[in-house]
Amino acid sequence: MQKNFLLAALLISTIGVPEISYAAEKKGQQMIFEGLPGSSLHGSILGWIAGQSELQSLGRADEWLNSPPLTPTALRGKVVLVSFWTYTCINWLRVQPYLRAWAEKYKRQGLVVIGVHSPEFRFEKNIDNVRREVKALGVDYPVAVDSEGAIWSGFNNNYWPALYFIDAQGRIRDQHFGEGSYEQSEMTIQRLLAEAGAEGIGADLVSVDGRGLEAAADMANLKSRENYIGYKRTQGFASPGGAVRNKPHLYQAPAQLRLNEWALSGDWTMGSDGAAVKKSNGTVTYRFHARDLHLVMGPAAAGTSVKFRVLIDGQPPGGSHGIDVDEQGNGTVSEQRLYQLIRQQGPIVDRQFEIEFLAPDVEVFCFTFG
């Protein structure tokens, strides 16, 4: 093993390290790479040299969706693409059209795409939520439910989305973290299928047109980054007096917010991973700069729903409304998931977003942008 790692280090120092993708989420922290070199790489040779088979950890899945349990023995001779995801991750949602297209295009040549659902938020451990989102998001390939993180640990993974390319002998031959590099990823699939003896692969690459949540981010205008609502990881919280932890508190919004500052107004309880509105008309205000604004949220109790109203610069969003609100900014939160609230059509400048909940008992967790 030591010799293998020494050889790997020597080869990496010789061939250099490729660039990693521009956006991925690390456990507890979003990672924005924007072309910086690092050890999370496309073209990884470490798994190939060591001859490891992380596929063994699939046996520790809590449940399988869209498929009977898949074992290393059953996958022998197949090229496997393992995708770590969690259903509220906007970075993964923008990768999903490619995963879906690859699974369909190369299934006859022996590619098996496996989505490993490893949750970030506590409600993503709820199997009913996972089943609903698998269907709603068009995840039609096999899904290993990894609610306790056993497969995540087995792969020593740290990111959503993370792609692991495994050859027909069960060896990790490549890996990619984050969005982007889709052509390189597909060419890796083609190469591994060819090595396995598959025919009719061709050199053409898929072309996808992501819609809604799956649309590629407008990186040229993206000046706001993912931000959590809970006190443990939030940034830019600007309500006077700061956060009052784990007990109800009457918050106010300041007269003015700077870019990427946010505030609560009304009766809220802020926990470590989110905040819950305790009375009607609680609001969240956020100063942002991006084409899209999303909010991870849900009703505090299953089977309930709460209406809300969204404003941008004090006015209904009109044509800049997201898929989960109408032109007047009206929407309903009825499920624990990611909601697209704003998709701007005009010039992208600093804007002030506000969401008001017309009844209590809603939990909000995280803002993401695109």
What is the C-alpha to C-alpha distance for residues 156 and 179, in angstroms, rounded to an integer? 19
Q: Which domains, ranges and CATH numbers included, belong to the chain?
A: 2-214 (3.40.30.10), 219-369 (2.60.120.260)
Mean pLDDT, rounded, for 319-337: 98
Tens of pLDDT, residue by residue over 334-362, are 999 999 999 999 899 999 999 999 999 99
Q: Is residue 36 predicted with pLDDT exceeding 60?
A: no
**CA-CA distance, 63 to 131, in Å (whole number)?**
11
Q: Percent of the chain beyond pLDDT 70?
A: 86
Peptide bond preceding 119 in cis form (omega within 30 of 0): no
Q: What is the pLDDT of residue 79?
A: 98
Produce one character per residue of 59-83: b if its CB has 16 or more CB atoms within 10 Å, e if not: eebeeebeeeebebeebeebbbbbb
Reported as a pLDDT band with limits 50, 70 and 90, residue 229 is very high
pLDDT at 24: 63
Query: Which residue shows structure tokens 């990693």?
Result: 20
Give the residue-averaged pLDDT of 248-263. Answer: 98
pLDDT band of 42, cuts 50, 70, 90: low
Q: What interhelical angle do 182-195 and 90-106 show, nearest 10?
A: 30
pTM of this structure: 0.88
The residue with greater pLDDT, 303 or 6, is 303
pLDDT in tens, 276-287: 999 999 999 999
Task: Tell whether the model's pLDDT for residue 8 goes beyond 90.
Answer: no
Confidence band for 23, pLDDT divided at 50, 70 and 90: low
Q: Which of 35-39, 315-319, 345-349 has the lowest mean pLDDT?
A: 35-39
The confidence score (pLDDT) of residue 41 equals 44
pLDDT at residue 321 in the model = 98
pLDDT bucket at 26, cuts 50 / 70 / 90: low
- What type of residue sits at position 125? K
- pLDDT reading at 52 higher than 90: no
Residue 308 pLDDT level (bands cut at 50, 70, 90): very high
Maximal CA-CA distance, the chain: 66
Model confidence over 63-76: pLDDT tens digits? Answer: 999 999 999 999 99
Full 3-state SS string of the chain:
CHHHHHHHHHHHHHHCCCECCCEEEECCEEEECCCCECCCCCCCCHHHHHCCCHHHHHHHCCEEECCCCCCHHHHCCCEEEEEEECCCCHHHHHHHHHHHHHHHHHHHHCEEEEEEECCCCHHHHCHHHHHHHHHHCCCCCCEEECCCCHHHHHCCCCEECEEEEECCCCCEEEEEECCCCHHHHHHHHHHHHHHCCCCCCCCCCCCCCCCHHHCCCCHHHCCCCCEECCCCCCCCECCCCCCCECCEEEECCCCCCCCCCEEEEEEEEECCCCEEECCCCEEEEEEECCCEEEEEEEECCCCCCEEEEEEECCECCHHHECCCCCCCCEEEECCCEEEEEEECCCCCCCEEEEEEECCCCEEEEEEEEC
CA distance 79 to 193: 6
Tens digits of residue pLDDT in 88-147: 999 999 999 999 999 999 999 999 999 999 999 999 999 999 999 999 999 999 999 999
Q: Give the pLDDT confidence score for residue 346 in this predicted structure.
A: 83
